[in-house]
Amino acid sequence: MEKDRVTAIAEKPANSSVDRNERMSTSLTIRVRHQDRTGCLLVDRLASQGSRHAVLLVDGAEEAEEVPASTITIEEILCA
């Protein structure tokens, strides 16, 4: 019985409308550290400098900035 449930989960399409709706109804905030500053990783946009960069909104800043993804540390993942 357990094997059938695991197989059903494994065979479920990754991009089904149920999965998308569940992801969209959950809002995540990813708190990060870059050098000596903290802020939020903005996952709703891609960096113009390419996939090896991340878009951050540093605490207290008015505008987002792009930084190399390898230079950030995830500090906390919050679900709203």
Q: Tell me the CATH number for domain 2-79.
A: 2.30.30.150
Q: H-type helices in the chain, by residue range?
A: 2-11, 17-25
3-class DSSP state of 59: coil
Q: In what order do the strands lie in the sheet with 72-79?
A: 65-68, 53-58, 37-41, 28-34, 72-79
**pLDDT of the chain, 80 residues: tens digit per residue:** 545 544 455 555 555 555 655 555 678 999 999 999 999 999 999 999 999 999 999 999 999 999 999 999 999 999 97
